[in-house]
Amino acid sequence: MTDLDIRPITGALGADIHGLDLGEPLGTERTDAVKRALAQHLVVVFRDQDLTIEQLEAFALQLGPYGETPFVTPLEGHPNVVAVAREAQEKGALFGGTWHSDWSFQAHPPSYTILYGKEVPAHGGDTVFTNQYLAYETLSPGMRRIVEGLKAVHSADRSYGPGGTFGRPDPNSSINIQGSEAALETQVHPLVRTHPDTNRKALFINDVYTVGLDDMNAAEGAALLDFLLPHCRQIAFTCRVRWTPGAVTVWDNRCTQHHAIDDYAGSRREMYRITVAGEKPY
């Protein structure tokens, strides 16, 4: 069994993993060790990687098959890679700049997301993560009984629908986003999901894609979400990844949320992002 050099970031989640070159095939043992680290720490960071897009793709495929990328035009010749870039002078809404779990509006939302920092600001542009096992486990027994049986409605409408944040093409944006009517579709997922690898329960809701609760009227759903969503992102559940050039961060969308921070006006940021396919939440 391979032992990795793992250094936790906070008491809640996140770890730096040292000593791996992601440009080389990991092999089964080290891939399994990375997956075990993800199961334990939820978010892992590999520093100082120097990867081509093909090497990033090869690393992703060791974690699982690609997920489906909607609404965002991928890199030419690389249909599963999105360039999350922002020029120094750009001012529009920041991609990923609200609390969310990636593509939770899909029937099978991604398991992992991989984000590679090719060019990062000297300071600013961090990504913050929050642990959704802790969000579930810290609820009172009474509230846990209430949420256990509930289902949440997810939709891409607020981001990619015709009236959404990214609903109209922005000629000044470095990310080519194509909002559409497809964003109006909804998916219903359990509010409390069980992670297939750890068997732990996590809250599975987020500010941007969770639009209500199933089998409840809008006021009832909003009241419960108004309590649960801030609970999900309280500071003791979080860690903040400070990007360095060549850092690769992998996170598990099934038990975390994340938020890109819009605080680097005047600096350029160029990241490459791949999602790994996930299962239907249960």
Provide the binding-site residues for ligand SIN, judged by CB under 6 A: 84, 95-96, 102, 113, 115, 127, 258, 260, 271, 273
Q: Tell me, yes or no, if 100 is annotated catalytic.
A: yes
Neighbours of 68 (CB within 10 A): 14
Q: Phi then psi for 127, rounded to 5 degrees?
A: -120, 130
30 is catalytic: no
**Residue 138 vs 174, nearer CB to ligand SIN:** 174
Task: Output 95 or 204, the one with its CB closest to ligand SIN.
Answer: 95
Q: Tokens for 177? A: 């986003």
Report the nearest approach of ligand SIN to the CB of residue 41 (Å): 18
Angle between helices 218-232 and 141-148 (to 10 degrees): 130
Kindly give the residue spans of alpha helices, DSSP state H, lying in the chain.
Answer: 27-41, 53-63, 132-137, 141-148, 157-160, 218-232
| Residue closer to ligand SIN, measured from CB, 97 or 149 | 97
**Among the options 41, 154, 189, 258, which is catalytic?**
258
Instruction: Kindly name the residue from 100, 154, 195, 254 that is annotated as catalytic.
Output: 100
Q: Measured between alpha carbons, how far is 117 from 246 in angstroms, rounded to an integer? A: 5
Q: Which of these is catalytic: 41, 86, 102, 154?
A: 102
Is the CB of 100 or the CB of 195 nearer to ligand SIN?
100
At closest approach, how far in Å is the CB of 246 from ligand SIN? Answer: 15
- 56 CB-side CA count, 13 A: 28
Give the nearest distance from C-beta 45 to ligand SIN in angstroms. Answer: 12
| Cα–Cα distance, 93 to 103 (Å, whole number) | 18
Beta carbons within 10 angstroms of residue 110's beta carbon = 25
Would residue 102 show up in a list of annotated catalytic residues for this protein? yes
Tokens of 168: 């109209």
Nearest to ligand SIN of 10, 174 (CB atom): 174
273 included as an active-site residue: yes
- Set 41, 158, 259, 273: catalytic member: 273
**φ/ψ of residue 219, rounded to 5:** -65, -40
Question: At its nearest, how many Å lie between ligand SIN and the CB of residue 253?
Answer: 9
Work out how close the CB of 84 gets to ligand SIN at its nearest, in angstroms, rounded to a whole number: 5
- Active site residues per annotation: 100, 102, 258, 273
